[in-house]
Amino acid sequence: MYNDPYSICNGKIIWDYIRGEVICSSTGEVIDRIYDYGPVHERLETIEQRNLLLKNRPRVNFIERRYRKHLRTYIVAERMIKDKPWLHIDYDKLFETGKFIHTIRSKSTDRALKNVRERGLEEKLKRIIDLMKEIDPVAVSRTERAKLALAYILLNYIEKNSPPDIGKTVSIFSISHTTYRRLERIARRLYNKIVAKTEALLVTR
């Protein structure tokens, strides 16, 4: 950089900050460059244009967006259970997960779950269902209510070596007598597998 305001040819030095050049006013010669390592300064027009774009940009209303999403989900769910009074929807779970699986259930299933909890059977039946998955995964590929009833019947076989009272079981799980008899046959088969497996373990020891 030149500190002397005049060049060798006695011309006045002009500092052109727009072009970034040091120019001799006498000859028009570029005798140096202006180097600036400071922060970049935006033009006023650029700043104003950006602020205008930000001001006009539509803001997202997340509450409204969530409401519209829940409304669409609600309409679809209501169509799915239309003319099916035996079904109902857990809307809290549906809106939380956004999935219809395990959120549309029969009222009978909810009554069965309530009866199970009131009798303190929830943990026991959960362990029996886990056991059934190990022995025969196909056996648990049924509705929630039938799966619970099957676990209850099998639990009685394990604890008492006999099936439960048919009337009591039908009442707890809201199943038909025909369903009970079918599940009782499956439970007996599973119990025989458990016994055979246990005996085989005792022999190997």
DSSP 45-108: HHHHHHHHHHHHSPPP-HHHHHHHHHHHHHHHHHHHTTT-TTEEE-HHHHHHH---TTTEEEHH
Total number of domains constituting the chain: 3
Q: Out of 71-80, 115-124, 187-196, which region has the weakest mean confidence (pLDDT)? A: 71-80
* Torsion-angle region of 161 (φ positive above 0: left; ψ -120 to 50: alpha; else: beta): left
Q: pLDDT at residue 18 above 90?
A: no
pLDDT tens for each residue of 61-113: 677 778 888 888 888 888 887 888 777 787 788 888 877 777 777 788 888 88
pTM of the model: 0.56
Residue 113 shares a structural domain with residue 200: yes
Residue 112 shares a structural domain with residue 161: yes
Residue 53 shares a structural domain with residue 76: no
Residue 155 shares a structural domain with residue 183: yes
CATH number at residue 171: 1.10.472
Cβ neighbors of 86 (< 8 A, separation 6 or more) are 106, 107, 108
Range of the domain at 11: 1-57
pLDDT of 188 reads 92
pLDDT tens for each residue of 130-169: 988 888 888 888 888 899 999 999 999 999 989 999 999 9
Q: How many residues belong to the chain?
A: 205
